[in-house]
Amino acid sequence: MSYRQACYDEPLIFDLESEQFCGDEVLKDSPLPETLRRKCLNLPDLPERDVMKHFVRLSQMNFSIDTGFYPLGSCTMKYNPKINEHIARLPGASLIHPNQDESTVQGALQIMHELENMLCEIGGIDAVTLQPAAGAQGEFTGLQIMRAYHEDRGEERKEVIVPDTAHGTNPASAAMVGFDVVELPSKNGMVDCDALKSVAGRNTAGMMLTNPNTLGIFEKDVLEIADIIHDCGALLYYDGANFNAILGKTNPGKMNFDIVHFNLHKTFSTPHGGGGPGAGPVGVKKPLDQYLPVPRIVKNGTYYSLDYNYPKSIGKVRAYLGNFAVLLRAYAYIRSLGPEGLNEVSSRAVANSNYLKTQLEKMIDLPFGGGRMHEFVLSGEKLKSKGVRTLDLAKRLLDYGVHAPTIYFPLIIDEAIMIEPTETESIQTLDRFAEIVHEILQEDSETVRSAPHNTSVKRIDEVKAARELILSYRSLKEHERKFKSHSS
């Protein structure tokens, strides 16, 4: 099947032909006091028909999980069953307001309370907060709990150990909470227990670990790691972003972790990407539950209420109780699959990953060899001698209607190509992907280096895009103004 992405010369909505809409009528009727009102709304005045065409055209120039394979390592871009979308949009769920009195949202509170209990069982932990809105915010919350625990014991511990395979959010979160980050070099892609012993000590507050790690390798020494960390009085933090690899087989509780975050938007269904939406609930073992954010949802008989009476709580980390629509999707996903279905998720995630790895490692190097869990990382280092870099291969894949894998991460692999096929893809899709990679590797290097050719947007200047963060119409106009005044 050949691929040509839709391509329109689509202007920004502000540049579409329209009467500029000042909005003075709307502003006049505003209940806000005069001093708080803007003078003009500056919106384009377009009929609904044109707005609809504009956004549908943009969507056709986009890539989506519903149109193609999305093997973006570490991101778990799997197909999300539409029933979960339907449930999240039911009026009883989507039209309630978080400021409503708790007596009028008993159903929502029940769903959240039951979801907390389900996550406790899945994670092997004792209590959960649903507040954090992303994995990274879960890390921030979990590390605040770690800090509160040590402070409560009168101990000033400043260091958090993070392996060099970790996701970038791990050291960033630790630094945001005020810890010093100690980077732990790995050995054969795993934690080196001797190196860990040499850095763990009285100054260690904790260690962050994801298992399987970002190379897709299961940290087989995890119990020894937990002992080393606990023996020095520190806590072990589980980054649960890779949970789809272990669902129903084991859990962080059994691996002796103390604090856990879940990436609901990855493991338990929610179309994410491009910055959201997400949910990163945090679970803990006792006695750390006393530090969880407030309010906690409590059940008295059949009545659910919000309890703020936890004096040692770290406080609130997000407005209201969490990203309810994402929580609801996760609830529906877990309830519809049940324990056996969840167990099958991890079996399939690991089988798909190993099936594809076995085909691709014949063409591109797999550092450290061996089997993998839900994802694997190849090294495009040798392709460089043919004049093709990992970036070029990733761009050329777009021409075949496949989303690029994650590239250049984790940093310990040269020219890294990180592939996570996910549990929802068929064997035909995996075979086709391997065929595409094979075809690309036979192509002349110039075709690959100048890719993509079939997409709506050709190769972009990624450095410029990262340095000049122009993400809104207003900042674009600002940028153009500055550019004009510099050149005149």
Whichever of 109 and 394 has its CB closer to ligand PLP, that residue is: 394
Residue number, 129 or 263, with CB nearest to ligand PLP: 263
Token pair listed for 334: 């877990």
- Least distance (Å) from ligand PLP to the CB of residue 160? 14
Residue 194 · residue 171 · CB < 8 Å: no
Q: How far is the CB of 30 from ligand PLP (least distance, A)?
A: 36
The tokens describing 328, both together, are 């609801």
Specify the residue, 242 or 424, whose C-beta has the smaller distance to ligand PLP: 242
Tokens of 1: 């099947």
Q: Which residues contact 246 (CB under 8 A, 6 or more apart)?
A: 211, 212, 346, 373
Helix ranges restricted to H, 133-252? 135-152, 169-176, 193-199, 222-231
CA geometry: angle at 243 spanning 237 and 249, to 5°? 105
Least separation in angstroms between residue 32's CB and ligand PLP is: 35
Closer to ligand PLP at the Cβ: 296 or 374?
Answer: 374
Q: In what order do the strands lie in the sheet with 416-419?
A: 376-379, 416-419, 406-407
- Rounded to a whole number of angstroms, the minimum distance from the CB of residue 266 to ligand PLP is 7
Could you say which DSSP state residue 384 is in?
G
Provide the minimum distance between the beta carbon of 169 and ligand PLP in the complex, in angstroms, as a whole number.
4
Distances (CA, A) of 75 to 99, 190, 270, 436: 33, 20, 12, 22
Q: Rank residues 134 and 366 by Cβ distance to ligand PLP and give the closer one.
A: 134
Nearer Cβ to ligand PLP, position 208 or 334? Answer: 208
Residue 385, number of CB atoms within 10 A of its CB? 7
Q: Of 256 and 263, which CB lies nearer to ligand PLP in the complex structure?
A: 263
Q: Which two tokens stand for residue 404?
A: 């690029």
Q: How far is the CB of 278 from ligand PLP (least distance, A)?
A: 5
Q: Which is nearer to ligand PLP, 261 or 285 (CB)?
A: 261
Q: Which is nearer to ligand PLP, 162 or 235 (CB)?
A: 162
- Strand order in 127-129's β-sheet? 127-129, 282-284, 259-262, 235-240, 204-209, 159-163, 180-184
For ligand PLP, the binding residues (CB under 6 A) are 74-75, 134-136, 167, 169, 210, 214, 239, 241-242, 263, 278, 280
* Pick 107 or 168: Cβ nearer ligand PLP: 168
Work out whether strand 416-419 and strand 376-379 pair parallel, antiparallel, or are unpaired.
antiparallel
Cβ at position 108, least distance to ligand PLP in Å: 23
Smallest separation (angstroms) from ligand PLP to the CB of 121:
22
Quote the CA–CA distance of 68 and 89 in Å, as a whole number.
24
Q: How far is the CB of 138 from ligand PLP (least distance, A)?
A: 8
Task: Extract the tokens encoding 66.
Answer: 């519903």
Closest approach, Cβ 433 to ligand PLP, in A, equals 21
- What residue is closest to ligand PLP based on CB? 135
Alpha-carbon span 170 to 161, nearest angstrom: 10
**Which ranges of 232-303 does DSSP label H, i.e. alpha helix?**
264-267
Omega of the bond prior to 452 within 30 degrees of 0, cis? yes
